Structure 1
Amino acid sequence: MSKGVVIALAALFCAVPAKTVFASGSSGERIVVLDPGHQGSWVDMSAQEPVAPGSSQTKAKATSGTQGAYSQVPEYELNLQVALVLKEVLEDRGYQVVLTREDNDTAISNKERAQLATDVGADISVRIHANGSEDSSVSGALTMAPSEENPYVGGLAAESRRLAQAVLDHYCEATGLANQGILLSDTMTGINWSTVPVTILEMGYMSNEADDLYLTDQSHHQTMAQGIADGIDAYFAEQEAALLDPENLGSRETQTEPAGESGTGAALSDPENLGSRETQTEPAGESGTGAALSDPENLGGGETRTAAAGDGGAQTAGEAAEGNANAFPDTGLLGKNLAGVPEAVTPADTMEPLAEILKEGWLDARSQAGEKWSVAVLDLTTGGSCMLNAGEQMQSASVAKLFIMGAVYERILYPEESGKTPIEAEESYEGEIRELLSQMITVSDNDAANRLTELLGEGSFEQGAAVVDAFCEEHGFSATHLGRRFLAENPTDDNYTSAGDCASFLEAVYREELVTKEASEEMLELLKGQTRTGKIPAGVPDGVVTANKTGEMPPGLGLGSIENDAALILDEEKPYVLCVLSNDISDNGRAQEDIAAISAAVWDFLEEARE
């Protein structure tokens, strides 16, 4: 923590009297901590810290965030600019405001940011970030809050969610940016260490031209700040109303209110008010990137998503209508009664009917339309499988990052244990490597994938790609090839895999046989922290743990349109692998819906077959 922050805190401690938390009164009695995410890229924050109190899991203390794809403005700079304007707005309204940093040189970790809010007796903490996606069409704002299942701050969930809703609604109303809803995440170090209601505001996508140019135009910062301040006002006004409610007068010590009881909370939890918002579950840790191709990624359509203790953030647009079988077009096959399968037949023997269901419902029609689809289903209990074009080499998009992850674990993190010649990375890189792995898998950060490949090649992407290809060849992933950088301009090659290769990779991870037992366990935890859960995970019931990696490519980039997903469905009774790859598709949104519907059909089939 810089000397300037320490001096500012000392002055604040002298000036701020002791107070009752949530005491009624003017806004002047409220202390708001504003946390402009990240810091300058030259500040080394690669050292590790626990992701939560008592947790053995660690992550880099902080990262430098993303950068405007069109403005070239660094996220850390944007976050601070907006926070400084917001500080003035809030102070004009009578709040006492503490910034976690006032320049881009301050070395303060995510844990220390949360602890600062505790130290100054803050009422709330609002973390300011900006988002990013590999899909430049994704736009809009979202907020993050912990879930009630968070083992560290579950008691703050209701108030944090109410704060998140109020800030998001008023911010989007003021700016006109799309409202993508709340991401309930237990993956953020800065959330897990908090002792006060906390939310992360992702102001917009710096990977989207319109969002980027709006956010970085400083003439808009006053409007943005006014919207956030209006949300903070609304949060405290609702709290005041609750305190003055005669029904609550006898229990003012207990201020935590279940989400959905009133005001914005009610709007959030009432299904009639949610519109197309959905609630999804994903495992607690922190992606650490804050918001650049970072924390919550690629949400679309105003969803509310949930994350449990692991690593995670969001997903592509067009997923608002997903989440269960009833949300998908009626093919006559979803929920089909499979009671005609003889009871004595095992699931391993009943996969042929599943193949017919998938071909009849989706694959035949898509093939006739000129699209390429492949599916691999593997029952991890019985060994039964359903393979439809599963050996065909397909464009992988970001699914190729699975194999980069495997090569990094084998050649950099666990070379001796796996009997491989180590690829030397400087010792200081280990913290960076684990953070890059988290970014690459949980939020599909392309820069992280390119950087890890360069580390495998000791500075050369091409040599690193050769290491990945060698890893794939040795492990039998024969259709997989890394041929270009992610988001490469004018590529002469592409990245490829097959549904079968992806299924084999995930099975080896599940059985703790890929690289080493420890490496497999770590890879599984990263995959559980996936934030893009609108395809295969959306087709299984709420509460079922999934671990997946998606890949997508919108039209117009010269590589065709792609929607892929490879997932482990970790149901306690019937774990299985499902991989669906689609290339040359005519409609990305429809393909996402089809993948989720295929997922629902596979779930229903396996459930019926085992009854």
Structure 2
Amino acid sequence: MTVIDASQSLQRDLKDIVRHAPGRLSIQVVGPTGVVAGWDADREVPAASLVKVLVLVAALREVDGGRLSLDQTLQLPEERVGGSGALSLLPSVTELAVVELLRLMVTLSDNDAANLLLHLLGHDRVTRTGREIGLQHTQVARNLRDRAAAESGRDNTTTAADQAGLLAALRAGQVLGGASTRLALALLAEQQHAYGVTALLPDGVVRGSKPGDLPGVRHDVALVETGGSWATVAVTATGMYDERHRQDYSVSVLPALAAVGEAVLGYLTGS
């Protein structure tokens, strides 16, 4: 009988998904002992809202260091950038606790919450946090929806390898204290936009995720956990914007993202 290595089988599944998916995909799957499988995982892409996972970790590191409190309240600016989240629709909300900002940033991908935390922490500090954790290709250079900064060449970038590695280090308890680790994972598990990698996973699978999108871009990073086994997976998908017709067709890649999630679950369960 020929024994098929589960990681090799997963690699073949990922290759098949990439071949049939629209746009250009990069994938990384990481388990407790390291990289399991991947495809073009070191390709740098616009980070979109995936940057918010690193902001979450950077903020909670400040909490662990006693330099920030979860109960500390921050004043919201009158002008809101919107685009994603609830705060741009709630002008009567003028201040929130740090923990509430973290929850809105992660579960609803609220850009105004993220920008307030970025203002508090500083772009350089968030980038340095990533470097300390081992993220070699993730750069945080501007706020969310800052068009002027983007047009001047300042952008937030990352890779599938960095994102899967960050979530794996978080799951393994290597980047935060115990209480902060539990909070971060709980917030990711409360994700309200789980339409990508985890979309077709059964309810019994412990999971958390953070999607991100821009015109022509769809990303997702997720934790898949079942039966005592776990893996993190990041998928970045680009090149899905029709310049001629000014049409974003990135939603067409969502079935491919869900197929990646199913493949990772199959790897974990041996099915």
Specify if TM > 0.5: yes
The residue number in structure 1 matching 2:222 is 567
Shift of 1:588: 1.5
The AA in structure 2 aligned to 1:436 is: L
Shift of 1:526: 0.8
Report the 3-state secondary structure (helix = DSSP H, G, I; strand = E; otherwise coil) of the residue aligned with 1:570: strand
Confirm or deny that 1:398 pairs with 2:53: no
Confirm or deny that 1:377 pairs with 2:42: no
CA RMSD of aligned residues (A): 2.4
Counterpart Cα distance in 2 of 1:566 and 1:504:
10
Q: 1:516 to 1:341 in 2, by over 3 A?
A: farther
Counterpart Cα distance in 1 of 2:2 and 2:265:
16
TM-score (norm 1): 0.37
Shift of 1:406: 0.9
Counterpart Cα distance in 2 of 1:543 and 1:426:
32
Report the 3-state secondary structure (helix = DSSP H, G, I; strand = E; otherwise coil) of the residue aligned with 2:99: helix
1:324-382 Cα offsets, whole Å, 9 max, x none, are xxxxxxxxxxxxxxxx861xx6xxx431232122212x31345xx7x3311111233x6
Q: 1:426 to 1:594 in 2, by over 3 A?
A: closer
Report the 3-state secondary structure (helix = DSSP H, G, I; strand = E; otherwise coil) of the residue aligned with 2:135: coil
Q: 1:525 to 1:425 in 2, by over 3 A?
A: closer
Counterpart Cα distance in 1 of 2:71 and 2:269:
49
Q: 1:552 to 1:473 in 2, by over 3 A?
A: same
Gaps of 5+ in 1: 1-339, 417-421, 457-463, 556-560
1:482-541 Cα offsets, whole Å, 9 max, x none, are 122211223222211111111111112212221222211111111111111111111322
TM-score (norm 2): 0.81
Counterpart Cα distance in 2 of 1:405 and 1:357:
31
The residue number in structure 2 matching 1:598 is 260
Shift of 1:597: 1.7
The AA in structure 2 aligned to 1:484 is: R
Superposition pairs of residues 431-580 of structure 1, within 5 angstroms:
432-456=97-121, 464-490=122-148, 491=150, 492=152, 493-553=154-214, 555=215, 561-580=216-235
Higher-Rg member (1/2): 1
Counterpart Cα distance in 2 of 1:383 and 1:404:
23
Superposition pairs of residues 22-61 of structure 1, within 5 angstroms:
none
Report the 3-state secondary structure (helix = DSSP H, G, I; strand = E; otherwise coil) of the residue aligned with 1:466: helix
Shift of 1:391: 1.8
The AA in structure 2 aligned to 1:455 is: L
Counterpart Cα distance in 1 of 2:263 and 2:142:
34
Q: Which has the higher contact order (CA 8 A, sep 6+)?
A: 2
The list of structure 1 runs, each at least 4 consecutive aligned residues, that deviate by more than 3 angstroms after superposition, is: 422-431
Counterpart Cα distance in 2 of 1:524 and 1:438:
11
Counterpart Cα distance in 1 of 2:193 and 2:71:
32
The AA in structure 1 aligned to 2:171 is: Y
Identity %: 27
- More strand as a share of residues: 2
Gaps of 5+ in 2: 75-94, 242-248
Shift of 1:604: 2.5
Report the 3-state secondary structure (helix = DSSP H, G, I; strand = E; otherwise coil) of the residue aligned with 1:444: coil
1:224-274 Cα offsets, whole Å, 9 max, x none, are xxxxxxxxxxxxxxxxxxxxxxxxxxxxxxxxxxxxxxxxxxxxxxxxxxx
Shift of 1:383: 4.8
Report if the CA contact (8 A) 1:552-1:563 is conserved: yes
Q: 1:341 to 1:530 in 2, by over 3 A?
A: farther
The AA in structure 1 aligned to 2:213 is: E
Counterpart Cα distance in 2 of 1:582 and 1:483:
21
